[in-house]
Amino acid sequence: MSEMTAATGTPVVSVRDNRGIPVRTLNWNREEAAAQLRLLVSHNLINDDSRVSESRDPRLFTAWSADDTTVANLCNTPSLAGQVLKRESTDSGWQVVVFDAAGRPVWMTDGRGTVQSLSYDELGRQMSGSEQLSGGAVRVSWRGEYGDAGPENDGSQDNNLRGMCVAQYDDGGLQVVNSVALSGTVLSGSQQFLASAEAQPDWPEADSDRQALLEATKYTTIALSDALGAPLVQTDAMGHQLAWQYDVSGRICSQAVTPAGGSKQTLLESVTWSEAGQVLEEVAGNGVTTVYSYEPETQWLVTVTAQRTDNTVLQALGYGYDNTGNVLSVSDGTVASRYWRNQATDGVRMFSYDALYQLVNATGRENATNTVMPYASLPAMAQPDSSQYVNYTRTYLYDDSGNLQTLTHTGAGNFTRKMTTETTSSRSVQQNDGGAQSPDDVAGWFDSNGNLRQLQAGSPPSGSLTAQQDALEWGGSDNLQSVTLLSRSSTDMSQNDREVYQYSGSSRVRKQTRTLVNGGSGLWAVDEVRYLAGMELRRSWQETVSGSSVTPGAVTEELHVVTGQAGRAGIRVLHWETGMPDDIPANDQVRWSVDDNIGSLSLELDVEGQVISREEYYPFGGTAVWSARSEVEADYKVVRYSGKERDGTGLYYYGHRYYAPWLCRWVSADPASEVDGLNLFRMVGWK
């Protein structure tokens, strides 16, 4: 007889009407096997056209059952053709979309008062897009040009550009496609950035006028591909070259990099694949062999073992699962039992779940110095041979909408992080240090579209966001535009320390951090990252600002980071053009990563297979164990939890929105709407 768990006897029941449309979903939940089961009912209201007009999660269904004036999580108003004309979400606010006769969106507005419009050519291709913020002027935020728009002899046919969008002007600058293979692979593309790192462009009709908004520098990437479109050689905008080789099945079997002006280095020596397409073994260019094993029936990852050529085992992860694939344990065979202040730690992490498979308890080890839980900063770094570890336990409690209510941590430092959730939505803020104390106070922390207005708990934002520390400023498309790091002025954001961002499509292309060094002389320190194809261009300099006049100084550090994947391992090649720190062993430093089952970077290895840094994470992010052989080398580790870059704000950028690990939730509503359920802020279903 199998052991009883929290999920025993908790089926999911779907109730359908006489048309076969789901109207209710019944779930039962409890935190542990001995606890009483609770019935959770999700509800859909179906209109006369057999379409869902209202949806409620269990929390709002319970409130609606007692008071039928309670709003639904989601209300949709469809057109006769079935398109959603108006969408009202308690999480992301309301949006109205008007479609043309061909079913294309042409005009949109939302609860923030932003109005957007799109125009198309006679072939139905988007030609331009405009945006007007509430109370602001209309600006053209997007323009496109197509390869068949020019004269017949313009070379577009020879470069396979006919019908393609070859020039895209947007909020990140200009993206140009110069040549495309028959397979569709881009063989040559260039990128130009906006002249201003903070201004929003208004793209004029004339090309010469558009160029005035752009920098003169063009960053061009060139690629060579095989007949199937797989890349063989890629030369990035700064002259660094990546090369790949493939086996007979078309899978990558080796990879190399040649830094500009440098010598060729092997990144990936060989890869062995299983019949199911899983990586079984990969040998990195530093000689480290990583072996993966999988559960035969489910193909779940069971072990990951990384070993140097001298047979030193660097990491030996083992995973245990329940019958549905939830991770119950993670162990590392290389971690010996260590003792600190009468506590023994062995590196084993354990997890337990409620009947909905939400994580409710986690145990592991953490640095003994983790006595406080900082928001934006990392905990103090330990030495690689440190024995100063203690055990921690984290417990999680959720409401019936799947919102975290309390996170209780017991370990090097004890704390309880309490969250307050708005009564009619899943908008939540923490209340530990003076934040909202009642659900009615939550509304002021978000704008009408569900974007968080301030990072840390404190006094709710009021008036101008620039008056607030840690204020978040959002653009018309709900992209995060800036974070105020240190506020000096309530009316002029240019006086505040800040981190600003620019985007092209769904990707971030530029990040700039500005810190005032000398207020009297207007001297600012600027750190900038430009995200190019296959690389990051990182520069630091100082500039003097006087009114509208900006006098930049010389670049003090220019770092090119060639990025990519070599098998399952992430690769970062650090090439300094200027300003290389003295404690870096050599230029063109290659860093190989050894990742865990969700892609979090746990080990960084150098060219000899020596450990540069080691990091372990709490559930849903946050650093539990952090050590490195050098503080200088540690400063250049930016990729962390789930393989994403951690910004100076402490936020992680995932491509469409930002994640706050200390809140265990997204800081804005899901731009993809309800694809993962009615709660638009929840992270991976708390699994």
Q: Please write the tens of the pLDDT for every residue from 73-82.
A: 999 999 988 8
Does the pTM surpass 0.85? The reply is: yes
User: How would residue 382 be classed by pLDDT, with cut points 50, 70 and 90?
Assistant: confident
Residue 468 has pLDDT above 80, yes or no: no
Q: Whole-angstrom Cα distance, residue 289 to residue 45? A: 56
Break the chain down into helix, strand, coil percent, rounded to 5.
5, 50, 45
User: How would residue 470 be classed by pLDDT, with cut points 50, 70 and 90?
Assistant: confident
Q: Between 568 and 602, name the one with better pLDDT.
A: 602
Task: Please compute the mean of the pLDDT values over residues 65-94 and round it to a whole number.
Answer: 96
467 DSSP assignment: G
pLDDT at 441: 86
Residue 182 has pLDDT above 70, yes or no: yes
Give the DSSP H or E segment for 209. helix 207-211
Q: What is the SS3 assignment for 681? A: coil
pLDDT at 434: 56
Q: Please write the tens of the pLDDT for every residue from 325-334.
A: 999 999 999 9
Q: Whole-angstrom Cα distance, residue 485 to residue 245? A: 45
Task: Please compute the mean of the pLDDT values over residues 542-551 and round it to a whole number.
Answer: 91
CA dist list (Å): 334 to 310, 346, 391, 624? 15, 9, 17, 17
Q: Please write the tens of the pLDDT for every residue from 387-430.
A: 789 999 999 999 999 999 999 999 999 999 999 999 999 999 98
Residue 201 has pLDDT above 60, yes or no: yes
Chain position carrying tokens 């391992």 = 569
Task: Please compute the mean of the pLDDT values over residues 179-200 and round it to a whole number.
Answer: 96
Q: Please write the tens of the pLDDT for every residue from 28-42.
A: 999 999 899 999 999
The CATH-assigned architecture of domain 265-686 is Shell (2.180)
Q: Whole-angstrom Cα distance, residue 433 to residue 452? A: 17
Q: Whole-angstrom Cα distance, residue 428 to residue 437? A: 11
Q: Whole-angstrom Cα distance, residue 635 to residue 626? A: 12
Angle at 656 between CA 654 and CA 660, to 5 degrees: 50
Report the percentage of the chain scoring pLDDT > 70: 97
Q: Which long-range contacts (CB under 8 A, 24 or more apart) does 119-127 make?
A: 121/146, 125/165
Task: Please compute the mean of the pLDDT values over residues 539-548 and round it to a whole number.
Answer: 93
Instruction: Report the DSSP pairing between strands 611-617 and 523-532.
Output: unpaired
User: How would residue 553 be classed by pLDDT, with cut points 50, 70 and 90?
Assistant: very high
Report whether 560 contacts 575 (CB < 8 A). yes
- Specify which residues 538 forms β-bridges with: 529, 559
Report whether 665 contacts 404 (CB < 8 A). yes
Q: Whole-angstrom Cα distance, residue 83 to residue 232? A: 43
Report domain extents, the chain. 113-224, 265-686
Q: What is the SS3 assignment for 54? A: strand
Q: Whole-angstrom Cα distance, residue 468 to residue 488? A: 9
User: How would residue 70 be classed by pLDDT, with cut points 50, 70 and 90?
Assistant: very high
pLDDT at 457: 59
Task: Please compute the mean of the pLDDT values over residues 361-387 and round it to a whole number.
Answer: 84
Q: Whole-angstrom Cα distance, residue 165 to residue 175? A: 10
pLDDT at 534: 95
Q: Between 487 and 215, name the one with better pLDDT.
A: 215
Spatial CA neighbour of 353 closest among 644, 684, 56? 684
Handedness of CA 156, 159, 162, 167 (dihedral sign): negative
Residue 525 has pLDDT above 80, yes or no: yes
φ, ψ dihedrals at 636, nearest 5°? -100, 10
454 DSSP assignment: B
pLDDT at 436: 58
Instruction: Report the DSSP pairing between strands 74-78 and 52-56.
Output: antiparallel
Chain-wide mean pLDDT for the chain? 93
Residue 496 has pLDDT above 80, yes or no: yes
Amino acid letter for position 300: W
pLDDT at 373: 72
Residue 466 has pLDDT above 70, yes or no: no
Calculate the dihedral angle through the C-alpha atoms of 200, 202, 207, 211, rounding to the nearest 10 degrees: -30
Q: Whole-angstrom Cα distance, residue 103 to residue 124? A: 10
pLDDT at 465: 47
Q: Whole-angstrom Cα distance, residue 648 to residue 646? A: 7
pLDDT at 1: 44
**Residues ≥6 apart with Cβ < 8 Å to 87:** 74, 75, 76, 77, 94, 95, 97, 673
